[in-house]
Amino acid sequence: MTMEYGKIAGVDREVSRITLGTSGMRTYEKAAPLLEHFFGQGGNLLDTAFAYGGGVCEEVLGTWLARNTPDEPPVIIAKGAHPPKCAPETITEELSISLERLGVQCVDVYLLHRDDEQVPVGEWVDALEAEVRAGRIGAYGGSNWRRARVEEATAYARSTGGQGFAAVSNHFALAEMAEPLYPGCIAADEDDLAWFARNDVALIPWSSQARGFFSSVDPGLLDPNMVRCWDTPANRGRRERAQRLAARLGVETINVALAYVLAHPAAFPIIGPRDPAEAAIALGALNIELDAAALAELNGDGRLG
């Protein structure tokens, strides 16, 4: 397995195409081996948030960074302004706390965890640009933001001399989300992916493997949200096609599902393994290169991506 790398606008070095999520990191003892494995395999992109675990996840990551800083520090994606405190004035307060928990002075990418569409995009952008000028964030963007709002925010930023959105963290997977995982959750579609690629906006998709929908584990043993959000006839068809392709390639079905996301050059999918063994399985997707015919086969309708 060889890690793949790409660029996120506003980040001054290459980042791993696979992002390690930290929302399940509730103890240092369990998180440390997972982080060490990920960095040992060439990963360097981490996703965290003010709201994860009530702050525990950022604290655990901060402890690991203090004790085990790798030769090159990780690229950190942090998020804030989650409901019910989804407002521009929340950013400074929550970012200050996140930086303290993480033990850093600046995060590479800062994402608004949700959007409140009653707030004009200019108010969001002005608050984010203030943190850029203060040197506390590098690039910025939004999680669960509609593309129309991203376009509007970026146009406003550029009209006022700002940098605009560099990244969006919406759901994207081989399985299409049938209903929102949580209120305000938004999925990206193929048109969004094409726009992101054209406009140099990275997509950092959450639940990139559809919460285990493509694993061999009995669905009843997995997150019940997976069944609610992804267990549809159309998605079962995609899973069956992924199973057939995986059998031909001699790989795991979940590897095919993640390789599908990686086949979109603007995507830096988030994975959420619980331990190094699960991480090793997920990273196996890097060994799979899906051509246009394979992508069309997985979609089942002639689409190439």
pLDDT of residue 300: 85
CATH topology of domain 5-299: TIM Barrel (3.20.20)
Q: pTM higher than 0.85 for the full model?
A: yes
Please, which residues bridge with residue 21 across strands? 47
pLDDT, tens digit, 9 for 90 and up, residues 117-151: 999 999 999 999 999 999 999 999 999 999 999 99
Contact in structure between 284 and 276 (CB atoms under 8 Å): no
Which parts of the chain register pLDDT below 70? 69-70, 216-222, 301-305
